[in-house]
Chain A
Amino acid sequence: MDRPALDFDEFYGVSSRRLLPALVLATGDLQDAQDCLQEAFARAAARWRTVRSCDNPEAWVRRVAMNLAVDGHRRRRVRRRIAEQEGPPAPAPAPGEAAVDVVRAVAQLSSEQRQVVVLHHLLDLPVAEVARELGRSENTVKTQLVRARARLVDLLSLAEQEQAR
């Protein structure tokens, strides 16, 4: 493969590790998260010379992947195709109960709340940037964060810890 492919490898290696956990929360499902992310990276690869020259290629992939996570209907093809070529992934042990619970709790948030939670808490985007990326006002984002938090505290029975903060 030519030189851009080498850049892509590096980018993919670093960014996929960073983005996958966020997508797990955004979709509530590991496989869905992988689908979204693979799809986003495949799209980036298709126009890699342009994407790599972006100020923030990871933001490009993140945005596409998050859009896919919200849309929820444009996935699977990449994974299926790659699985055909590479074979299925190796079986993995089951995750811990706490991890499952928290992902499940986040999945119960509205998609709007989930987006802001993931972008702000998982990917460390400031509220202003979350607002800009999602086309919402900062106040709206703040409100959604507060409500999401309250809901998660309730779902995860964290009221005592929350009061102690």
Chain B
Amino acid sequence: MTDPLVTLMRDGAREIASHGAMPPAAAVFREGRRRHRRRSAALGAAGAFAAAATAFVITGLPGGGGSANGQLGTDGGSTLSAGSGAATITVVTASTAPSYVAERLRECARLAAAAAQAARGSHEFRYQTSSAAATVTMYGCASRQDGVAHVSAVGEHGRPVLLHFTYADLPQAVPGSLRDTGIAGSQTWLEASRPGAGTVPCWGQPDPFQHVCAGSIVTPDGVEHLDPVLGPPCEEPRCSLIGGVVATNAKAGTVDARGVRLAAAVEHYDQFPGYAVVVAQWTGKHVTGGEFGDIRFVPAD
């Protein structure tokens, strides 16, 4: 028996759809390939970045679980200087591309550990891939909110590989709140709020099919700063707005047009063409790589 309501919806949607033609496939394909070329260029830059990372051995990949403990030493001039001490990182992955993933995880882990360590001394956190992936490129990105490090990573090649961040240990460990606001499908929303000086919600939306992109930071003055987290050159209109915030090789303390202060100079990052770093800070402090702030790699237009 036909369902009149469903029939109505289908007919209505089809009629509306029939009033607008999609562009030719060739035009859409060209647009996609143009992005692919830009992304490939970015991957080259990221590869150079990974190669420059200090060694951090992660064992136990792949196959659903593993852990590694590593000593972090000084890391050769990274802005996220770890100093001395140890960080424990547990990696759980279902990846099927161990060597490639491991290389990127190593970079992620190093940055995350560095940030965690800078923020809280040693720290433990976990993350895991959402599903098996033939190939995955992860860009390490560490940021600190409430003295908590988190890692953003990006699945490349369109596979549903992006990370789910599990912060099981963190809510109890930090003075503010950091909560997983729900995993819907393969999306994870994280929200962190900082006590004092207003709330600084910060969202990241790892999307399994694209680079991490959406997000915003609301500074205590109530201004929302659109904030791509990191990834290959971002195509999104809202991300392009970050141009007002990002500046390659900007001086520490620079305040952009939106009032976001760059907490640290970003001169270390000019070796990574195609990327810039946002170091936003709201506390008024300025310590390169060591104080509260938010550090992100973003595409430099």
Contact = CB atoms under 8 A, between A and B. Distances in A.
Contact of A33 (B17, B35, B185, B237): B17
A51 B29 contact: no
A83 to B, nearest CB: 8
B120 interface: no
Contacts of B197: none
A141 B32 CA distance: 34
Contacts of A113: none
A33 B16 CA distance: 10
B236 A81 contact: no
B158 to A, nearest CB: 4
A95 B29 contact: no
Nearest to A34: B20
B185 A8 contact: no
Contacts of B179: none
Q: Which secondary structure characterizes the binding site on chain A? A: helix
B237 A74 contact: yes
Interface stretch (B7-15, B83-91, B106-114, B244-252): B7-15
Nearest to B207: A67
Contacts of A94: 19
B258 interface: no
A86 B22 CA distance: 11
B24 A77 contact: no
B183 interface: yes
Interface of A: 1, 5, 8-9, 12-13, 16, 20-22, 24-25, 30-31, 33-34, 37-38, 41-48, 50-51, 60, 63-64, 67, 71, 73-74, 76-79, 81-83, 85-86, 89-90, 92-96, 98-103, 106, 117, 121-122, 133-136, 149, 152-153, 156, 158, 161-162, 165
7 A-B pairs with the lowest CB-CB distances in the bound complex, closest first = A45-B32, A102-B12, A47-B158, A21-B13, A99-B15, A99-B12, A12-B25
23 contacts: A5-B29, A21-B10, A21-B13, A38-B28, A43-B210, A44-B158, A45-B30, A45-B36, A46-B35, A63-B185, A74-B214, A77-B236, A79-B23, A82-B28, A94-B19, A95-B16, A99-B11, A106-B9, A135-B184, A153-B5, A158-B5, A162-B5, A165-B4
